Amino acid sequence: MRNRLSHTALFLAATVLLAGCPPPEGWPKPPFDVTGQYAGLWAGRSNEEAERQQVIEECPLTINLVQDLTRPYPGDHAVSGTVTVDYSCITLPEWVNEVPPQTVNVSGLLGDDGKLTLVSGGCAPGICVVLTLAGQGESIERGALMDHYAGSWAYLILLAGVQPFGVTGTFDVVATTPETDG
């Protein structure tokens, strides 16, 4: 028992020391600011048996993101926002009414290497959506702001009384907001 307490105390002390003491070069800064509006396309395949699988191409996608670079590490790497998914390019069963574009709240983290992962889960009357986007952000033409984000995504749709279905695929968006001197 005494040995277990010693190990626990040592672990807690090490955790406090590591969390409170930044490395000599300081905590890493995000590679760029992702704050802004992005528009582009998503594509993929439905997660159904081969004879019923849909190939989905060129669906509109908009993303609005916010990042607070003034927060202390690791909060400066946190990202939140919305993803608006347009369903107009999906062939739904005849008995399903047209589904309007759905705006989903997302949050995630920006890695020091520019990899951005966003996740969400949300419901509206009669429909629930689970969304993950994982991709590479780039800052090529907008200084310290991200201007391109592309990668893979997974999307699960739950309709009331229907077997869950989803889509996996890719997305590619570019910034639609001009660069500003923040």
> Alpha-carbon distance 165 to 47, whole Å?
6
With beta carbons less than 8 A apart as the criterion, state whether 93 and 46 touch: no
Q: What are 39-62's pLDDT values in tens digits?
A: 999 999 888 777 778 888 889 999
Overall average pLDDT of the 29-37 stretch: 95
- Supply the pLDDT for residue 20: 59
CATH of the domain at 110: 2.40.128.120
Does the structure show a pLDDT above 60 at 13? no
Question: By residue range, what is the domain housing residue 37?
Answer: 27-175
**64 within some domain:** yes
**74 within some domain:** yes
**22 within some domain:** no
* Those residues with Cβ within 8 angstroms of residue 62's Cβ, 6 or more apart along the chain or in another chain: 37, 38, 39, 83, 84, 173
**118 within some domain:** yes
Number of domains composing the chain: 1
- Supply the pLDDT for residue 148: 96
Q: Terminus-to-terminus CA distance in the chain, angstroms?
A: 55
